[in-house]
């Protein structure tokens, strides 16, 4: 069979979102300290950071598919394409093999990233980043895999904020500059909020099915109306943080997000799936505009 049968399991549409924090942190570093980029080192660090985050995102997607399949959660694919296991085009053994591949790629690219940034793997900062990389791999795997998966006890939102927001943005900035500022820390929170919003939207869409299978997401704990209000708070919080730090260009995304929120309050279930790429790509645009 062709390699194309693996593509749905990679969930390629999620990849732009995973790059948002890296782009934001790297862009802010380039604005503050352009010399490493003009000399080439900064570009190398950026490329390895992108490759690392893409590998981790795909790893998370694969583990999510396998974990949900093992728990019987991902049974309702109405309104969106079935992934490999659900469609029967990929076996659990093949998914496990792909998981092993992307664990390996995450280790290779992550190690190369840290070495390119510090010139060694044995400085304290490098060892800290190696530990963060290990935690990121563990976090990607245990989101839905295993008997104590944190995505099933309402902690997925926290995990997204930590890895997509804080670690991604602050890590990208620090690897370029070996320093941090309050603006970078707040910006990491700012970009993490719509990333959490993507997960929340996913969980609002799947709320009925998740509850049937015992998956307790934060959205399901809030209830349908509460989760939609929470969604507004996440996106408004993002706008407020960036505007407060003078990144007013991000407000160009506001009309799209207002329309997006209005749509969410008028629809439920699989109809929300068409809003997933809207939020993911506009979050990527926010990360770019915030660097101006």
Residues 86-128 pLDDT 10s: 766 788 899 999 999 999 999 999 999 999 999 999 999 999 9
User: Given pLDDT bands bounded at 50, 70 and 90, which one contains residue 2?
Assistant: low
- Angle, helix 276-289 to helix 254-266, in steps of 10 degrees: 160
Residues 6+ apart with CB under 8 A from 101: none
Q: Does position 46 have pLDDT exceeding 90, yes or no?
A: yes
Mean pLDDT of 232-242: 98
pLDDT of residue 146: 84
Q: Which of 144-148, 154-158, 201-205 shows the lowest mean pLDDT across its residues?
A: 144-148
User: Given pLDDT bands bounded at 50, 70 and 90, which one contains residue 19?
Assistant: very high
pTM summary value: 0.94
- The CATH class for the domain spanning 3-289 reads mainly alpha
User: Given pLDDT bands bounded at 50, 70 and 90, which one contains residue 59?
Assistant: very high
User: Given pLDDT bands bounded at 50, 70 and 90, which one contains residue 82?
Assistant: low
pLDDT of residue 60: 95
Q: Does position 10 have pLDDT exceeding 90, yes or no?
A: no
Closest alpha carbon to 183 in 195, 193, 173, 196: 173
pLDDT of residue 78: 52
User: Given pLDDT bands bounded at 50, 70 and 90, which one contains residue 213?
Assistant: confident
User: Given pLDDT bands bounded at 50, 70 and 90, which one contains residue 75?
Assistant: low
Residue ranges in the chain assigned as alpha helix (H)? 7-10, 15-32, 35-39, 41-71, 84-87, 92-118, 124-142, 156-160, 168-177, 182-205, 207-212, 218-222, 224-244, 254-266, 276-289
Q: Does position 11 have pLDDT exceeding 60, yes or no?
A: yes
What is the C-alpha to C-alpha distance for residues 292 and 247, in angstroms, rounded to an integer?
A: 7
pLDDT of residue 87: 67
Q: Does position 234 have pLDDT exceeding 70, yes or no?
A: yes
pLDDT of residue 70: 85
Mean pLDDT of 242-256: 97
Angle at 253 between CA 248 and CA 257, to 5 degrees: 130
Tokens 């924090």 belong to which residue?
21
pLDDT of residue 225: 97
Q: Does position 76 have pLDDT exceeding 60, yes or no?
A: no
């Amino acid at each position: 069979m062709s390699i194309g049968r693996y593509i749905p399991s990679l969930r390629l549409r999620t990849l732009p979102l995973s790059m948002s924090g890296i782009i934001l942190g790297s862009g802010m570093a380039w604005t503050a300290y352009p010399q490493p980029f003009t000399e080439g080192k900064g570009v190398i660090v950026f490329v390895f950071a992108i490759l690392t985050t893409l590998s981790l995102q795909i790893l998370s997607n694969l583990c999510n598919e396998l974990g949900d399949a093992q728990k019987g959660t991902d049974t309702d694919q109405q309104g969106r394409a079935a992934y490999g296991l659900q469609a029967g085009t990929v076996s659990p053994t093949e998914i496990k093999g792909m998981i092993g591949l992307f664990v390996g790629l995450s280790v290779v690219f992550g190690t190369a990233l840290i070495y390119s940034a510090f010139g060694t793997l044995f400085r304290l900062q490098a060892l800290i980043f190696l530990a963060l990389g290990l935690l990121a791999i563990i976090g990607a795997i245990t989101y839905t895999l295993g008997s104590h998966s944190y995505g099933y006890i309402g902690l997925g939102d926290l995990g997204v904020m930590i890895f997509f927001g804080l670690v991604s943005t602050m890590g990208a900035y620090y690897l370029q500059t070996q320093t941090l500022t309050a603006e970078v820390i707040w910006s990491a929170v700012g970009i993490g909020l719509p990333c959490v919003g993507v997960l929340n939207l996913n969980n609002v869409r799947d709320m009925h099915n998740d509850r049937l299978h015992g998956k307790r997401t934060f959205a399901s704990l809030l209830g349908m109306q509460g989760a939609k209000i929470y969604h507004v708070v996440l996106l408004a919080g993002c706008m407020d943080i960036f505007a407060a730090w003078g990144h007013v260009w991000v407000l160009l995304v506001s009309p799209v997000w207002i329309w997006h929120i209005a749509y969410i309050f008028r629809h439920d279930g699989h109809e929300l799936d068409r809003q997933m790429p809207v939020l993911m790509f506009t979050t990527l645009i926010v990360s770019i505009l915030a660097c101006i």
